[in-house]
Amino acid sequence: MKEYVKSSPFFFRLIRWSFWSCTLILLLMALVFPAPLQEHAQLAVVPNPAKSAWFLLWIQELVSYDVRLIYLVIAGVLFFVLLPWLQKRDIDRAVWFGTGHRMIASTVMALFLLIVLLTVIAFFFRGKNWDFVVPF
């Protein structure tokens, strides 16, 4: 029984700590980086292109390269939906970042870094009419 990890209280402490850390980081980001919202929409005058909220900018940046890249976003969503079923079933004990999860963990980390990179590019390096600008 020594090789098993008890879910209570150890695992739930980690989950609680992670939840509050992520919530705090998101709240701080929302305070520091305001959403580029504009005045009420008018059908006669549509700004081209209007920036979306900061948490959706990565999708807008990706689609600005090619419209068909929206399928990459859909594939990413499907990947995260199917994530619980992608692990090997023969694992009988809990292991953090075990050998059966390296590919999945690497893929999730790569997707996370790609989303952060695209968000930074869209937020800081895109100006009027979605042109590249130097922010400094």
pLDDT tens, residue by residue, 74-117: 998 998 898 878 766 665 666 666 676 778 888 888 999 999 99
Report the alpha-carbon distance of residue 128 to residue 126 in Å, rounded. Answer: 7
Report the alpha-carbon distance of residue 91 to residue 97 in Å, rounded. Answer: 12
Average pLDDT, the chain: 82
pLDDT(58) > 70: yes
The pLDDT score that the predictor gives to residue 3 is 67
Residue pair 30/36 in contact by the 8 Å Cβ criterion:
no
pLDDT(24) > 90: yes
Q: What residue spans define the domains of the chain? A: 1-32, 51-136
Output 77-86 pairs: Cβ under 8 A, ≥24 positions apart: 79/107, 79/111, 83/108
Q: What's this model's pTM, rounded to 2 decimal places?
A: 0.63
The pLDDT score that the predictor gives to residue 92 is 60
| % of the chain with per-residue pLDDT over 90 | 28
What is the average pLDDT across 25-43?
81
The pLDDT score that the predictor gives to residue 17 is 93
Classify the C-alpha dihedral 91-94-100-101 as positive or negative: positive
Report the alpha-carbon distance of residue 100 to residue 86 in Å, rounded. Answer: 10
N-to-C CA span, the chain = 57
Band the pLDDT of 47: cuts 50, 70, 90.
low
